[in-house]
Structure 1
Amino acid sequence: MEKEFPVIETKRIILREVTTEDANDMFNYLSDTDVVKPMGLVPCQTVKDVWDEIKWYKSIYEEGTGIRWGITLKDSGKVIGSCGFLNMLTKHYRAEVGYELSKDYWGKGLASEALEAVVKYGYHHFQLERIEALIEPANLPSQKLVEKQGFRREGLLRHYEFTCGKFDDLYMYSCLKEDLNLI
């Protein structure tokens, strides 16, 4: 029996499951170097590359290791980014949060709105105790975004990932349930 994918609604956006019908919308931002570089990804070259990303979203949900919502505009239903959990370890009540947003929507508070909703969902529905965010030192907007949501920088993980032919240092940020007074 397949569990129903949860939908989260906020003031301006709906977070929902993405499908192959969303691939063209997703290609618009997943093919943008400025959007995917901080994620350690190579820009998508074709819509077929986006299908692989959608398959990954589906696989982590089915395996119970994560969930990735498409960030959609309420007025149009257009997918403008994604936000969700990966590397979820229910045994340890923790997960990593990740997100990206089309450059057309940067600076409008939509990523913050999505992140806040996803973090609250994680604490309430997955009973997470700790949510982590791994962010490249040069990605100041992302650092400001998580800090605004109550995340604290814990330290630098040197050469933590190997992406796009190089080793990346990443800051470890975390937010505990008690940090948000959700106990």
Structure 2
Amino acid sequence: MNYQSDIFPVLETNRLLLRRIEKDDAHDIFTYLSDIEVMKHYGTKPFQTVDEAIKAISKYESLFNENRGVRWGITIKEDNKVIGSCAFHNMVSEHFRTDISFVLSKDFWGRGIAQEALKAVIKYGFEYLNINRIEAVIEPSNVPSQKLVERLGFSKEGVLRSYEYFDGKFDDLYMFSLLKSDFDSDE
């Protein structure tokens, strides 16, 4: 699992361009990360200021520069506006494993955009980063995300009990995984 941190991988699909998130994208990031509905299953409170988005972008840069992961901004090809993001994070190179996460502005829900973006990211991970296992941890109440990863071939492995502490309580999460041998990039 290796990549050059000075060359950010830009991915393209039929409708989307997945690219590096820049400081100029802070307002776009703030727009969806301040939305209560979008943040309902995100594990953090909705952003209150654009400065929080700027700090998040710095974290995305560190993730990439330190070879710990990659977070792509999701844009529609005709428009450079960031409408969401998807990421590999918690990369464990010696075990060829990574976590995947995604978030999308609710204005774009139900259009297949998250699925299209995730499929490109997964394909990149298996083909270019030599990943063997991709994990997704999802709240039990987040049924749309569970259905999305299952459509992409992920298997539900079980419950991670009291896995996260958020908003004064411990939350269970479901563990889903996708192995390289399970993924059909031609679908």
Band the TM-score falls in, shorter-chain normalisation: over 0.9
Contact 2:5 2:67 in 1 (8 A): no
TM-score, normalised to structure 1, is: 0.96
- Number of matched pairs: 182
Secondary structure at 2:165's aligned position in 1?
strand
TM-score, normalised to structure 2, is: 0.94
Give distance in 1, aligned partners of 2:100 and 2:128. 15
Alignment gaps of 5+ in structure 2: none
Q: Give 1:148's aligned residue.
A: 151
Secondary structure at 1:69's aligned position in 2?
strand
Q: Give 2:57's aligned residue.
A: 54
Give distance in 2, aligned partners of 1:101 and 1:62. 24
Give distance in 2, aligned partners of 1:53 and 1:2. 18
Any residues of structure 2 matched to 1:22-171 within 5 Å, and which? Answer: 22-171=25-174
Report Cα offsets for 1:117-175 as digits up to 9, x if no partner: 00001101110000000000000000000000000000000100112222110000000
Give distance in 2, aligned partners of 1:149 and 1:101. 17
Q: Provide the identity percentage.
A: 53
Indicate yes or no: 2:1 matched with 1:3. Answer: no
Give distance in 2, aligned partners of 1:135 and 1:6. 26
Pairwise CA distance, 1:4: 1.2
Give distance in 1, aligned partners of 2:23 and 2:6. 19
Secondary structure at 1:38's aligned position in 2?
coil
